[in-house]
A and B are shown apart, each in its own frame.
Chain A
């Protein structure tokens, strides 16, 4: 039997209901916020909605991953990989592009990056093959790299990820380091303050 309410005529017209539903799929947005955003856009100047639609479209259409480090970019390679003054002998491995941005903000790092796009989390079905680990190993085989900084988050999943990468680095003979302790454990790099993160980078330890 169908529930009673669906037999009544729909109170909210379809395009409005659809946008509310789309907004509610976003993290941190419940049905209430979704309705508020939708009705705000409904009342606002058309340019706002059109600009937003275009931005969303371009996001998926134009943004892609750097062929070398998997940072987000609109070209084949990202701005960092294209900058000749960066130290080509160090790679800093991070979980997400946002972590890369956090490290860039410290100004304490001039090397290259490698973005894994996630961390090991078997409970959520995320395993080694879902991360850009094989791609990192392939890079290390072709590029002249002296040091890999494992800058995954200082929590269980981040540590598990660093451990697994380290296992692959040993046979390659590449020096591996880990950010100094002092970052709030269990936290995300993304939220660490600039000074703490800068210090953790300076004081990185050998693995």
Chain B
């Protein structure tokens, strides 16, 4: 798949943009803060309904944006996604909310300061329906935290990959997180002694059943992805480093899972048993102690954990293998190549890794957007084949 047209309105530093994109490689270059990354961010947002770099949607709306006819200011991202036999129009409107006044009912939970309106082919849909319509893989210098950062980063990597591939995964994961919040609220009320402890098994029963049903499925899908990634990324690591060594990706479960199966129902069953055995601890801590939200990935080469003992170079190779592996996994599972977004990653890489990335892009003919501040990072024949766009102050100039 590829994006044939991207249009932005009041998104970050873009007031208005209407951009045709080539189905092959496009090089976006310009000085820092010109708006190169924002362009990739817009595509990432269309693919995942969230920004890779900011937690608040409010920041995405240009500060000078004005609403029409008294409406509140908004940002708009729209793109045409071209697939073998179909073209899909994706559209997200991020609209600021009026400031909540003090007269609001206190029991209303604080709402985000921006709301999203989403349309597919001009038809309004829910955010979850958008995920997977456009598949992207984003490479940034921050990918290194995948290897040495917190477990949440690694869970996010798996979740974003699987969510883009499988509409059922993204829905089940959302359901899981909602159930988790409800269950944690229940546990917290007991920990804080706001409620009597009688009937605790009955009160948790429903949440236990539902949480483990969703959790077993999420876990099964993650384990299946890790098995595939071991085959794909394991070898990629060898190619990137030329070390003759394979990368082994491990999945660390927060509870002891059965050794003979990765089938969802069996995992749910085991998770349920483990939850019940943890009653006292969970009430004491006021939270759900096991499940996919507590799991982690490990990366090892030759039995050495690279997250802890790896050199920066090795860690960079792992991050790169994971990202290229993500792209390959999406292709193998969907039969369609995702759009690659490379945000200023090449300058971080040494010659050999850079060469590997560029050649793997060139040979696939996959749509790729590369940002750069310095063209000397690229080899002449790469520069010759890529489409060049100069980015300057939220405007784009073709050459």
Q: Are A163 and B107 in contact (CB under 8 A)?
A: no
CB distance from B67 to the nearest CB of A (A): 13
Residues of A within 8 A of B182 (CB): 121-123, 156, 160
By a CB distance below 8 angstroms, the chain A residues around B183 are: 122
At the interface, yes or no: A167 with Cβ under 8 Å from chain B? yes
- Does A40 lie at the interface of the complex (its beta carbon under 8 Å from any beta carbon of B)? no
Whole-angstrom distance between the alpha carbons of A124 and B185 in the complex? Answer: 9
Q: Chain B, interface size: which category? A: 20 to 34
The verdict on A31 contacting B98 (CB below 8 Å), with A21-B103, A123-B181 known, is yes
CB of B128 closer than 8 Å to a CB of A: no
Q: Are B205 and A124 in contact (CB under 8 A)?
A: no
Among A24, A125, A129, A160, the one with the most B-chain Cβ atoms within 10 Å of its Cβ is A160
Q: Which of B109, B175, B203 touches A164 (beta carbons < 8 Å)?
A: B203
Consensus secondary structure, chain A interface: helix
Which residues B115-157 have CB closer than 8 A to chain A?
none
Using known A-B contacts A122-B185, A127-B195, determine if residue A160 contacts B206 with beta carbons closer than 8 Å: yes
User: Any chain A CB within 8 A of the CB of B179?
Assistant: yes
Contact between B205 and A122, CB atoms less than 8 A apart: no
Complex Cα gap A128–B189 (Å):
12
Residues of B within 8 A of A30 (CB): 98
Check if B199 sits within 8 Å of A163, measured CB to CB: no
Would you call A159 an interface residue if the criterion is a C-beta within 8 Å of the partner chain's C-beta atoms?
yes
Residues of A within 8 Å of B, CB-based: how many? Answer: 21
Among A30, A122, A128, A159, the most chain B Cβ lie within 10 Å of the Cβ of A122
A117 within 8 A of B: no
- Which residue in chain A gives the minimum CB-CB distance to B181? A123
Closest to A26 in B: B105
Binary interface profile of B, 193-229, with partner A (CB < 8 Å = 1, else 0)?
0010001001101110010000000000000000000
State in angstroms the CA–CA spacing of A167 and B199 once bound together: 10
Chain B residue nearest in CB terms to A25: B103
Answer whether A122 and B186 are a contact pair too, CB < 8 Å, given A25-B103, A167-B202. Answer: yes
Beyond A24-B101, A24-B103, A122-B183, is A159–B206 a contact (Cβ under 8 Å)? yes
Asked if B178 is an interface residue, CB under 8 A from chain A, the answer is: yes
Among the listed B103, B109, B179, B205, which residue makes an inter-chain contact with A167, where contact means beta carbons less than 8 Å apart?
B205
Report Cα–Cα, A150/B127, bound state, in Å.
32
Q: Is the CB of A156 within 8 A of B178?
A: yes
| Interchain CA distance A164-B200 in the complex, whole Å | 11
Q: A163–B208 Cα gap in the complex (Å)?
A: 12
Q: Do the beta carbons of A160 and B101 come within 8 Å of each other?
A: no
Q: Which residues of A contact B189 (CB under 8 A)?
A: 122, 125, 127
CB distance from A2 to the nearest CB of B (A): 15
In the assembled complex, which residues on chain A have CB atoms less than 8 Å from the CB atom of B98?
Answer: 30-31
B210 / chain A contacts, CB cutoff of 8 Å:
156, 159
Give Cα distance in the complex from A30 to B105, angstroms: 12
Q: Tell me, in angstroms, the Cα distance from A31 to B70 when the chains sit together.
A: 14
Q: Mark B1-31, 1 if CB is under 8 A from A, else 0.
A: 0000000000000000000000000000000
Q: Which residue of B lies closest to A20 (CB)?
A: B103
Bound-state Cα–Cα, A32 to B318, Å: 54
Q: How far is the CA of A30 from the CA of B101 in the complex (A)?
A: 9
Q: Give the residues in chain B near A21, CB-CB below 8 Å.
A: 103
Q: Once the chains bind, are A163 and B185 in contact (CB under 8 Å)?
A: no
Name the residue among B199, B206, B210 with the largest chain A CB count within 10 angstroms.
Answer: B206
Q: Which chain A residues border B185 with CB–CB below 8 Å?
A: 122-123, 125
Q: Nearest Cβ distance between residue A125 and chain B, in whole angstroms?
A: 8
Q: How far is the CA of A125 from the CA of B183 in the complex (A)?
A: 12
- A114-150 residues with Cβ-Cβ distance < 8 A to B are 121-125, 127-129
Residues of chain A contacted by B195 (CB below 8 angstroms)? 127, 129
Q: Is the CB of B105 within 8 A of A25?
A: yes
Least CB distance, A18 to chain B, in whole angstroms = 11
Q: How far is the CB of A14 from chain B (nearest CB, A)?
A: 15
Q: How far is the CB of A31 from chain B (nearest CB, A)?
A: 7
**Chain A hits for B101, CB < 8 A:** 24, 31
The reply to whether B199 and A128 contact each other, CB–CB distance below 8 Å, is: yes
Separation of A129 and B197 alpha carbons in the complex (Å): 12
CA distance A159 to B101 in the complex (A): 34
Q: In the docked arrangement, what's the CA distance between A171 and B114, Å?
A: 49
Minimum CB–CB distance from B102 to chain A (whole Å) comes to 9
In angstroms, Cα B107 to Cα A27, docked, is 12
Query: Within 8 Å CB of B186, what residues of A?
Result: 122, 127
With A163-B205, A164-B205 already in contact, 4 other A-B pairs whose C-beta atoms are closer than 8 Å: A122-B186, A123-B109, A125-B107, A125-B189
Closest 10 CB pairs of A and B: A122-B185, A163-B206, A122-B186, A167-B202, A160-B206, A123-B185, A122-B182, A24-B103, A123-B182, A21-B103
A–B Cβ pairs within 8 angstroms, 17 of them: A24-B101, A25-B105, A27-B105, A122-B185, A122-B186, A125-B189, A127-B186, A128-B199, A156-B179, A159-B206, A159-B210, A160-B206, A160-B207, A163-B206, A164-B202, A164-B203, A167-B202
